[in-house]
Structure 1
Amino acid sequence: MAFALARPGALRPISAQRGQSVRVAKPGLLRTPAVAARPRVQTNAAALSVPVNQLTDEERANLARELGYKSIGRELPDHVTLMDIVKSMPPEVFELDHGKAWRSVLTSITAMSACLYIISISPWYLLPFAWALAGTAFTGFFVVGHDCGHRSFHKNNLVEDIVGHLMFAPLIYPFEPWRIKHNHHHAHTNKLVEDTAWHPVTEADMAKWNPTAAFLYKVFLGTPLKLWASVGHWLVWHFDLNKYTEKQRPRVIVSLAVVYGFMALAFPALIYYTGVWGFVKYWLMPWLGYHFWMSTFTVVHHTAPHIPFKPAEEWNAAKAQLSGTVHCDFPAWVEFLTHDISWHVPHHVASKIPWYNLRKATESLRKNWGEYMTECTFNWRVVKNICTECHVYDEKINYKPFDFKKEEPLFAVQRRILPDSAAY
């Protein structure tokens, strides 16, 4: 089983005869040496779309290799509930350890302080590396606040609110608006229309775009710039009071006041002592590095050619949270600085599991439900598919690219020049 281009630019799975394989129609797209060496079968617009639940174990394994994943799980049976999965995990993964929680705060503050020092002594040609390191350390601030928002940091909710606001403030992230919308994402993960974290574009959306809007959407959601798209999400979702109910607004206003207060005090002081370049050097570039990880973690965890978004009437919580969330291994230094947020599947099964128990919870899920999980190691092939192919909602094949009608130069060039490595 392989993915082929049934129409120019449109990825879809196709079936092959027994003993044969399928070649990929476009050069450089999902191509591996093993695939290139196998017998070729020509494809055309009549290629058959096959859901994952109709594939054999061997076909799923082949599909996983071609898409850059270590494994693609079978479809979870309909009778399995989310509570069944939660109850299968050992009780200790839900236990809070205040010592580990506060050590994560200390780790992030220390790491960011060290990164700022490294930035201060780095020659210009090493600054990109220093910024990348600082952006990763900055992401640790978010993860601490993230646990506070899920009530998995401390037994005292007031402590969580205070720590959450303080850790989010340097990121210019209003804590309460984020908490409200993020919890909505957890309640509706990969549900069409409802999921607020990441969502495929619909053809109805595209029909409303004028040429300028179409260009901007395609550039920012159809290229590697998508790995910074959380900047737009942050701006659109978290500063508009109209997106919140009357009951929610008082707490939202407090969070906005904390963010604006930080900006009013810290930014002028930083510019006064270090100049505009200092503002860019010590805050803006690390902040953009943080948004790289915000975007990358989100899209890798919830976007894949074989993982569907479902309308409300077809949505299944257990399937969305377990099978619809990808486990992705990142370099050890990234996982250390970001407090294991990439061990993400158990977090979606039960959001109250604190970050320091995510590894143990993942091992439990692998033992009991591993055949239904998708796993990968961060690689270019996964990223390439997300950026160049997974754009527009399709009821039958999950995703199709922006240029599903006729291949466009923006995407044709990317498909040929972006790295296609799937090493793990």
Structure 2
Amino acid sequence: MQSNTVSQATVTASSPSTKELPFTLQDVKAAIPAHCFEPSVWKSLSYFFLDISIIAGLYAIAYSLDSWFFFPIFWLMQGTMFWALFVVGHDCGHGSFSKQKWLNNLIGHLSHIPILVPYHGWRISHRTHHANTGNLDTDESWYPVSESKYNRMPWYEKLFRFYIPLLAYPIYLFRRSPDRAGSHFSPNSPLFRPSEKWDIITSSTLWVLMVGFLGFLTYEFGWLFLLKYYLVPYIIFVMWLDLVTYLHHTEADIPWYRGEDWYFLKGALSTIDRDYGFINSIHHDIGTHVAHHIFLNMPHYHLKTATEAIKPILGEYYRKSDEPIWKSFINSYLACHFVPDTGSGVYYQSGWKSKDSSKTNKPD
């Protein structure tokens, strides 16, 4: 990894993956101002109502203009705002929106159901991801597959996982990721505990009602209406969601662990902060991801302060990319396909290089 791309993160024989952490979770927490762990209901609600207001305003403008010159601008802006609204629901799912569980669930559903995310199903699978980040055996999303698994994957699975990854999210909701069975909509899915049955039924029912509402709009106003005002912004939202989550955990110099070599803090550091430019404030600084993975109950509006506080403690274990987002995506797209079948503290390898190598070594 070039030094001008990722600061304080290099892959060497003495890289962080090969050493035990010289600090504890308590050490990291002690460096952060105590107020960073306290959510403000009014501040959290202000982000929700701001996003809703912008979304409503964009709809009003698009409907009043009804211009094909404006629709491409509307699609990009509205899809981005759908993504911002998702991030508000993301805080709700972590309990960092407020200390009131009922309020988190209410705003979580109001944020997620309109953009076809089953709130409780996603919340619980995302909890699994955070509890197992960096663990090749138990992580939930955007984890690497082994080289042997990569070679066995059918073409359609590779298609969505590696070649058009920015459209993978809806499929993940129904089928999860490779080697992980279950659906985000079924209370019988291995994702969920028996005690979570009614949470899943609630969110899945609301999701079905939202689909029904979209069907009603289509019946009343036609497919073109649905395409212009919902489907295209929804696709933009999905691309944002997949892009950001992909780049959180898909980087050539991020180590992945197996077995007893993994533990929570070590795995939580297997992510990277990224700079989205002017989009940072629009999508609520979700690119500030290292601190979020260590302390998932921290409100998004305190993450930047917390990050600055923990940098001196983390030192070389803190990863931040200064590359343009498009360049980071292309680099990861080309370089990150699988990890070795064995070992721990392993890194992504490229399937493209593997193909080239096999052609080179093929006997005459």
The TM-score range, normalised by the shorter chain, is 0.7 to 0.9
Contact 2:280/2:286 (<8 A) preserved: yes
Q: Map 1:15-414; keep pairs closer than 5 Å.
A: 63-65=2-4, 68-72=5-9, 75=16, 77-120=20-63, 121=65, 123-209=67-153, 213-214=154-155, 216-223=156-163, 225-237=164-176, 238-240=184-186, 241-243=188-190, 244-264=192-212, 266-322=213-269, 324-332=270-278, 334-377=279-322, 378-394=324-340, 395=343, 398-407=347-356
Q: Which has the larger radius of gyration?
A: 1
| Whole-angstrom distance in 2 between the partners of 1:253 and 1:273 | 28
Alpha-carbon shift at residue 235 of structure 1 (Å): 2.6
Q: 1:108 to 1:131 in 2, by over 3 A?
A: same
Contact 2:162/2:333 (<8 A) preserved: yes
Q: 1:205 to 1:84 in 2, by over 3 A?
A: same
| Whole-angstrom distance in 1 between the partners of 2:232 and 2:207 | 19
Letter paired with 1:176: H
| Whole-angstrom distance in 2 between the partners of 1:148 and 1:339 | 13
Alpha-carbon shift at residue 234 of structure 1 (Å): 2.3
Q: Deviations over 1:236-287 (max 9, x none)?
A: 24124323232222211111111112222x2134224432111111111111
Q: 1:320 to 1:281 in 2, by over 3 A?
A: same
Q: SS at the partner of 2:339? A: strand
Q: 1:397 to 1:163 in 2, by over 3 A?
A: closer
Runs of at least 5 residues in structure 1 that lack an aligned partner in the other structure: 3-62, 409-424
| Whole-angstrom distance in 2 between the partners of 1:82 and 1:149 | 22
- Structure 1 range deviating more: 183-192 or 68-77: 68-77
Q: 1:309 to 1:397 in 2, by over 3 A?
A: closer
Letter paired with 2:320: E
Contact 1:218/1:402 (<8 A) preserved: no
Contact 2:251/2:332 (<8 A) preserved: yes
Alpha-carbon shift at residue 173 of structure 1 (Å): 1.1
Letter paired with 1:117: A
| Whole-angstrom distance in 1 between the partners of 2:140 and 2:325 | 26
**Matched residues, number:** 337
Q: 1:367 to 1:397 in 2, by over 3 A?
A: closer
Q: 1:320 to 1:64 in 2, by over 3 A?
A: farther
Alpha-carbon shift at residue 404 of structure 1 (Å): 4.0
| Whole-angstrom distance in 1 between the partners of 2:8 and 2:80 | 27
Runs of at least 5 residues in structure 2 that lack an aligned partner in the other structure: 177-183, 358-364
Q: SS at the partner of 1:313? A: helix
Q: 1:280 to 1:94 in 2, by over 3 A?
A: same
Percent identity, aligned pairs only, is 28
Q: Deviations over 1:127-171 (max 9, x none)?
A: 333212111100122111111111111221111111111211111
Q: Map 1:3-22; keep pairs closer than 5 Å.
A: none
| Whole-angstrom distance in 2 between the partners of 1:306 and 1:139 | 27
